[in-house]
Amino acid sequence: MGDVGVAGVGELERELRRLDGAAYGRYRGLVGEWELPGGFALRVVRAQADPYAPPARVAVRVRGERAGFPGELWDSPVRRRALAGWLVRRAAREAARESAFHVDAGGQEVLARSSCTVGDDGSVTLRLGVALPGPRRRIDGRAAWELLGEGLPWIAEHALCHDGERAAEAAGFVAAVEDSAVLRERLPELGLVAFVADGALLPRRSGADDRPARRGGLVPFRAPEELRVTVDLPNAGAVTGMGVPAGVTLVVGGGFHGKSTLLRALETGVWDHVPGDGRERVVAHRDTVKIRAEDGRSVCRVDVHAFVDHLPGGAGTADFSTPDASGSTSQAASLCEAVETGARVLLIDEDTAASNLMIRDARMQALVAKEREPLTPLVDSVRSLHRDHGVSTVLVMGGSGDYLDVADRVVMMDDYRPYDVTARAREVAAVPTGRRAEALSFPGVTARRPEPASLDASARGRTRVRARGTDHLVLGENEVDLRAVEQLVDGPHVVGVGLAVELLVRRGHLDGQRTLAEALDLLDRDLAGPGGVAALLGVHDDDFAVPRRHEVAAALNRVRALRVRR
Ligand code: ADP
Ligand code: MG
């Protein structure tokens, strides 16, 4: 240290003694760099305006030599993300002793988070909120020193530095995350879109608690012989499990036999999970997108004519907009948008799908003339989606046999155990139902060019990006409903989506000329590897997690003020 502008050890304590008893607002004078006892550095990024405002934001930095982690824990981008994930969970446990500290540790997923990053020199930065003490709106210099000058170094020493006792745990965490990431990247070369390891535990504690279930009677996953594959992982070695091949995969079975639980595990398989989660080796292709019905959403100039045609009133559907989509048109729009922006795998669950978009059986075809029915069901284009566009589908459908005709693979869940019933399904499908296909192919989707001015993240002259729970993003003057974007993990993830939209506009990636897919390619470059957190930092100092292009596209597509050219 000793750089210009960095206050040396002792100066923070002196400054806080000086400020003791002063008006609360003078905490603002702390913004800047300070040296902490123990060889750590503190940066006060934002002070708190008053005791009831959101906590001050600070960053604690530990130099690589001081942190002392062996190089193999941080010598690649994925290892740095994993080590940061392990460190931030430890830091959150240590910080919990003091209610003034707010550390975003994340849940079961190991995302790149702003709350903790590891640099390519092995340095560690922890970013957290600190509620600065202010009885009667006065600075309490002594209490503030205890938090900043004693509490933070304690956390840094006990959570952010290498210690021999916990070394094996850190190495295990990093190894598990790396294996998961490698497994996901290997899927394409194996011809797979997902993998579920033998022994995986898929059910969760409850619908509101994402930790692994721990009641009796849990059935660990076991791959059916026909779909069993072995994959070599860098740390765990050979691992066996069910490979879900590219193409159309149908998951069938009776109600309550574990179909949705399997699909849900695939949805979250685009992220890595913490050891002990049960889904550490459940992965899905990185471009896997969950699709569902979402009546009421807005749709802006999406080409949905593959699924919707001649609407009552004659509205064109190759260029379809509505402020209030129906179940089926919302799902058609979400599907077409996902294909437009590069999804390679679609996941659909009958529980949350619009049945009239999924199927139209022989009897209904006989009763309602095609000319009177605007919808062409997915069953008639799902094969072409793969054959002509390289987009695979995994579909949970226990209620209709029409998909047996078009599935490459049929997996039956029975008492939480998967069986490959493809051969039997073929026999059943050989008996004609009299149903006629309503489309020969999926025609593709016209690309859109969003106008950046319609995605302005500022409100009253300032950037405003905030999460309202996991469900809503506040982006400038817009409130974006993300309840149906099911692969978002938590509030900080929602903030990351908002920051990514802001970045797309600020860097000029969205310029009204580029297609949305082209702009997202540029965003992917910005967010790749270790740059992800760095690219989104700075505008904003709240906690965030780095999203994929698909979450960013989903949010942008739900901005009601969105305007696009085509
Ligand atoms: P489906 O979609 O087939 O109706 P779900 O996936 O919703 O079934 O699962 C029904 C219930 O079974 C849920 O409460 C879920 O937690 C539980 N469950 C799912 N998989 C397992 C399993 N492998 N072992 C034990 N319980 C499970
Ligand atoms: Mg279900």
Using a 6 Å cutoff on CB, does residue 203 contact ligand 1?
A: yes
Gap between the Cα atoms of 309 and 372, Å rounded: 10
The bound ligand whose nearest atom lies closest to the alpha carbon of 411 is: 1
CB within 8 A of 361, min separation 6: which ones? 400, 402, 433, 435
Q: What is the per-residue pLDDT for 440?
A: 85
Say what the pLDDT of residue 10 is: 87
Mean pLDDT of 190-217: 96
Per-residue pLDDT at 101: 98
**pLDDT on residue 7:** 76
Give pLDDT, residue 530.
61
Provide φ and ψ at 115, rounded to 5°.
Answer: -65, -25
**Mean pLDDT, all residues of the chain:** 95
Q: What are phi and psi of 146, to 5 degrees?
A: -60, -40
Distance from Cα 505 to the centre of ligand 1, integer Å: 42
Rounded CA gap, 376 and 306, in Å? 7
Region 504-533: what's the mean pLDDT? Answer: 93
pLDDT at res. 529:
63
For atom 5 of ligand 1, which residue has the closest CA?
Answer: 258
Q: How confident is the model at residue 9 (pLDDT cuts 50, 70, 90)?
A: confident
Q: Which residues of 433-460 are buried (b: 16+ CB within 10 A; e: fewer)?
A: eebeeebeebeebeebbbbbebbbbeee
Q: Which atom of ligand 1 is nearest to the CA of 201?
A: 23
Q: Which two tokens stand for residue 493?
A: 């993830």
The residue whose two tokens read 């390619």 is 521
User: For residue 486, what pLDDT is reported?
Assistant: 97
Distance 259 CA to ligand 2 centre (A): 6
Q: Indicate whether 199 pLDDT > 90.
A: yes
Tell whether the model's pLDDT for residue 54 goes beyond 50: yes
> Looking only at Cα atoms, what is the longest distance across the chain?
87
**What is the tens place of the pLDDT at every residue in 346-359?**
999 999 999 999 99
- Which tens digit of pLDDT belongs to each residue from 127-172? 999 999 999 999 999 999 999 999 999 999 999 999 999 999 999 9
pTM: 0.96
Stretch 165-192: mean pLDDT, rounded? 97
Asked whether 544 lines ligand 1 (CB < 6 A), one says no
Q: Which atom of ligand 1 is nearest to the CA of 213?
A: 16
The string of pLDDT tens digits covering residues 407-429 is 999 999 999 999 999 999 999 99
User: What are the chain's domains?
Assistant: 11-162 (no CATH), 188-445 (3.40.50), 449-565 (no CATH)
Q: Report yes or no: 376 and 438 within 8 Å, Cβ to Cβ.
A: yes
Are the CB atoms for 26 and 19 separated by under 8 Å? yes
Dihedral angle at the C-alpha atoms of 182, 187, 189, 193, nearest 10 degrees? -160
HEC assignment per residue over 237-259: EEEEEEEEECCEEEEECCCCCCH
Partners of 558 in beta bridges:
none
Range 367-390 average pLDDT: 93
Quick check: 314 pLDDT over 70?
no
User: Which numbered atom of ligand 1 lies nearest the CA of 217?
Assistant: 25
| pLDDT of 4 above 70 | no
Contact indicator for 24, 134 with CB cutoff of 8 Å: yes
Task: Answer whether 258's CB lies under 8 Å from 202's CB.
Answer: yes
Residues contacting residue 86 through CB under 8 Å, at least 6 positions apart: 169, 170, 173, 174
Is the CB of 258 inside a 6 Å radius of any atom of ligand 1?
A: yes
Whether 257 is in the pocket of ligand 1, judged by its Cβ within 6 Å, is yes
Predicted local confidence at residue 538, as pLDDT: 77
Q: Is it the case that residue 100 has pLDDT exceeding 70?
A: yes
| % the chain with pLDDT above 90 | 92
Contact between residue 119 and residue 41 where contact means Cβ atoms under 8 Å apart? no
pLDDT (0 to 100) of residue 523: 97
* Percent of the chain with pLDDT strictly greater than 70: 98
| Residue 261 Cβ contacting ligand 1 at under 6 Å | yes
User: Ligand 1, residues 201, 206, 242, 256: which to mutate, most atoms within 8 A of Cβ?
Assistant: 256
Distances (CA, A) of 26 to 50, 150, 342, 387, 488: 10, 21, 50, 65, 38
Q: What distance in angstroms lies between residue 257's CA and the mean position of ligand 2's atoms?
A: 8
The answer to whether 60 and 42 are in contact (CB under 8 A) is: yes
More confident residue, 174 or 373: 174
Helix count (H) and strand count (E) of the chain?
16, 28
Q: Which two tokens stand for residue 240?
A: 């066996």
Q: Is the pLDDT of residue 3 over 90?
A: no
Question: What is the model's pLDDT at position 1?
Answer: 41
Of 103, 187, 136, 104, the closest CA to residue 22 belongs to 136
Query: What kind and span of H or E run contains 130?
Result: strand 124-130
- Residue environment code for 38-56, b if the CB has 16+ CB neighbours within 10 A, otherwise e: ebbbbbbebbbeebeeebb
Question: Among 151, 138, 150, 131, which residue's Cα sits nearest to residue 19?
Answer: 138
Say how far apart CA 216 and CA 495 lie, in whole Å.
Answer: 37
DSSP-based three-state secondary structure for 417:
strand
Gap from CA of 396 to ligand 2 centroid (Å): 8
Extract the tokens encoding 386: 């793969």
pLDDT band at residue 2 using 50, 70 and 90 as cut-offs? very low
Chain-centre distance for alpha carbon 100: 28
